């Protein structure tokens, strides 16, 4: 029965190792194998992953807004050029125009204004843009954390699959050996032989499925890393190893998470932005002070009639210029008050959203912490069982070698050891994943790596 339990255990694990991906993988047998460890995979993903790059493009939007918000003391220019037919005889303009006695007016006007003060509008717009830039960086880090966590799942999942395939191969060899022994017996139990063969064929089928899923997982890992399909890539690690991580108390983890996790910081940024938006809307009650000037020139050849020598009253030939200060404002009290009240409502909503999501993020961290502690205990327990099972195998093998033991006892002990070893690998995978998940909830998963802001 232990043999059956072991083989069915391998069947279940091999059928649920990875996610279901619909990606076609291509292998390059003749090309050299490009091997990377987990840290190198993460570094490559942070450089090349398209989703991480796309998450950083939002930063440019806020950089553009900041450029616009820093236009103080930089002139704003406007120019206008006009060309139009005009009557030549100003004493009889209508008759001259209808008779075709016309000239051509060419005029150009250039105005320039420099904002002296906007009573804080530009400063608060700049602060809002800075908050947006920082939020864009946090969103990019958030996306990077998600991609890196996925890489951890895929990398360790592939290693788990390979370890279980080795154990499954040993189990198949034991089944094949058992079938051979039963077929040699005088009173052959055909029913037991058929059951063993059915298990043998089913395990072979599941191993083929595991091989296919491993290929797909490698292809997905390439996508996450941003490398092409034709690159013959493989993992540098040969065996699934236990990660070592000592977590602090939950209170300290929560304090650390609030300092480093992007989700916490983004909620704070959201409240700060809405608060500054209220102040910015109130600034609409204040005017704008602009210093500026203008230059305008017009020329129309051949004009006759009652012309004045003043450039400021001559409609067709003139040269004008001027400068000064302008204090202006558009006071729509109802509209401004409405926008202020709307900004206040959004600010209160952001505060409520922050309080609610803070609680959810704390529970999310608590769940990851408890999962880590549970997986640590289960792995420690499984490793103790593995050591005990190894001792049993050693004792039964020693007794068999000196002629005091039974081969059946040795085979059962070996099968039990393989089953426990498979349990150790499963718990080791889940423990390593629990560590990565906890670090993701802390916001420290990519802390040791270089992540370009934009």
Residues 361-378 have pLDDT tens digits of 999 999 999 999 999 999
Least confidently predicted of 123-127, 370-374, 393-397, 425-429: 393-397
Confidence (pLDDT) at 71? 64
Residue 19 reports pLDDT greater than 50: no
Residue 193 reports pLDDT greater than 50: yes
Confidence (pLDDT) at 24? 36
Which is higher by pLDDT, 279 or 120?
279
Residue 352 lies in a domain: yes
* Domains identified in the chain, total number: 1
Nearest to 249 by CA among 241, 259, 257: 257
Residue 252 lies in a domain: no
Helix (H) or strand (E) holding 319: strand 318-328
Residue 322 reports pLDDT greater than 90: no
The Cα-based distances of 242 to 149, 195, 253, 292 in angstroms read: 17, 36, 22, 71
Give the mean model confidence (pLDDT) for residues 316-335. Answer: 85
Confidence (pLDDT) at 7? 52
Confidence (pLDDT) at 99? 79
| CA distance linking residue 247 with residue 253, whole number of Å | 8
Residue 289 reports pLDDT greater than 60: yes
Domain range for 352: 2-72+118-242+329-357
Nearest to 145 by CA among 363, 427, 438: 438
Residue 319 lies in a domain: no
Give the mean model confidence (pLDDT) for residues 393-404. Answer: 73
Residue 32 reports pLDDT greater than 80: no
3-state secondary structure of 60: helix
Residue 425 lies in a domain: no
Give the mean model confidence (pLDDT) for residues 114-123. Answer: 80
Spatial strand order of the sheet with 102-117 comes to 76-87, 102-117, 288-299, 318-328
What are 219-266's pLDDT values in tens digits?
A: 899 999 988 888 888 899 988 999 888 888 999 999 999 999 999 999
Residue 126 lies in a domain: yes
Residue 311 reports pLDDT greater than 50: yes
Which range of 2-16, 74-88, 260-274, 377-391 scores highest in mean pLDDT? It is: 260-274
Residue 32 is given by DSSP the state P
Least confidently predicted of 19-28, 137-146, 265-274, 277-286: 19-28
Confidence (pLDDT) at 28? 42
Q: Is the pTM of this model over 0.85?
A: no
Percent of the chain past pLDDT 70, that is, above it, reads: 82
Residue 26 reports pLDDT greater than 50: no
Nearest to 7 by CA among 391, 153, 15: 15
> Which of 430-433's residues contact partners 24+ apart within 8 Å by CB, and which partners?
430/375, 430/378, 430/379, 431/242, 431/243, 431/372, 431/375, 431/376, 431/378, 431/379, 432/152, 432/156, 432/240, 432/242, 432/243, 433/152, 433/153, 433/156
What are 48-83's pLDDT values in tens digits?
A: 888 888 888 878 888 887 777 776 667 888 899 999
Least confidently predicted of 115-119, 138-142, 191-195, 247-251: 191-195
Confidence (pLDDT) at 152? 93
Residue 183 reports pLDDT greater than 90: no
Q: What is the CATH number of the domain that holds 43?
A: 1.20.1600.10
Confidence (pLDDT) at 308? 58
What is the rounded average pLDDT for all residues in the chain?
82
What are 421-448's pLDDT values in tens digits?
A: 888 888 999 999 999 999 999 999 888 7
Confidence (pLDDT) at 42? 92
Residue 168 lies in a domain: yes
Collect all residues with Cβ–Cβ distance below 8 Å to 447 and sequence separation of at least 6: 260
Residue 98 lies in a domain: no
Give the mean model confidence (pLDDT) for residues 3-32. Answer: 48
Residue 67 lies in a domain: yes
| CA distance linking residue 71 with residue 54, whole number of Å | 28
Residue 18 reports pLDDT greater than 50: no
Residue 133 reports pLDDT greater than 70: yes
Percent of the chain past pLDDT 90, that is, above it, reads: 30
Confidence (pLDDT) at 266? 93
Give the mean model confidence (pLDDT) for residues 147-155. Answer: 93
């Amino acid at each position: 029965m232990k043999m059956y339990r072991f083989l069915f255990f391998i069947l279940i694990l091999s059928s649920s190792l990875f996610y279901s991906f619909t990606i076609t993988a291509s292998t390059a047998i003749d090309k050299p194998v490009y091997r990377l460890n987990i840290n190198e995979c993460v570094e490559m993903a942070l450089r090349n992953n398209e989703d991480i790059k796309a998450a950083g493009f939002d930063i440019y939007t806020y950089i553009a807004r900041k450029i616009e918000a820093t236009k103080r003391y930089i002139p704003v220019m406007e120019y206008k050029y006009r060309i139009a037919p005009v009557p030549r005889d100003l004493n009889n303009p209508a008759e001259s125009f209808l008779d075709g006695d016309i000239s051509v007016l060419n005029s150009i006007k250039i105005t320039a204004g420099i904002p002296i003060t906007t009573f804080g509008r530009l400063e608060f717009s700049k602060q809002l843009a800075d908050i947006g830039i920082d939020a864009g960086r946090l969103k990019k880090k958030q996306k990077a954390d998600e991609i890196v966590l996925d890489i951890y799942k895929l990398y360790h999942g592939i290693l788990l699959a390979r370890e279980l395939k080795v154990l499954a191969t040993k189990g198949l060899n034991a089944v094949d050996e058992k079938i051979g022994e039963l077929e040699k017996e005088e009173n052959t139990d055909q029913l037991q032989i058929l059951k063993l063969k059915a298990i043998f064929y089913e395990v072979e089928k599941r191993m083929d499925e595991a091989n296919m899923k491993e290929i797909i997982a490698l292809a997905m890992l390439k996508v996450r890393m941003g490398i092409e399909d034709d690159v013959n890539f493989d993992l540098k690690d040969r065996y699934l190893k236990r990660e070592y991580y000592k977590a602090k108390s939950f209170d300290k983890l929560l304090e650390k998470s609030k300092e480093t996790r992007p989700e916490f910081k983004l909620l704070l940024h959201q409240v700060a932005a809405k608060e500054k938006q209220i102040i910015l809307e109130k600034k609409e009650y204040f005017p704008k002070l602009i210093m500026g000037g203008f230059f305008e020139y017009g020329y129309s050849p051949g004009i006759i009639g009652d012309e004045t020598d003043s450039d400021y009253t001559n409609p067709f030939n003139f040269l004008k210029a001027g400068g000064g200060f302008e204090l202006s404002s558009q006071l729509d009290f109802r509209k401004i008050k409405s926008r202020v009240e709307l900004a206040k409502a959004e600010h209160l909503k952001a505060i409520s959203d922050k309080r609610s999501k803070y609680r959810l993020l704390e529970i999310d961290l608590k769940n990851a912490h408890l999962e880590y502690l549970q997986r640590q205990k289960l792995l420690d327990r499984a490793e103790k069982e593995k050591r005990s099972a190894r001792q049993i195998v050693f004792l039964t093998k020693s007794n068999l070698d000196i002629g005091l033991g039974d081969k059946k006892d040795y085979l059962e002990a070996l099968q039990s050891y393989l089953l426990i070893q498979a349990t150790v690998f499963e718990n080791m995978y889940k423990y390593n994943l629990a560590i990565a998940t906890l670090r993701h909830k802390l916001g420290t998963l990519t802390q040791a790596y270089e992540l370009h802001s934009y």
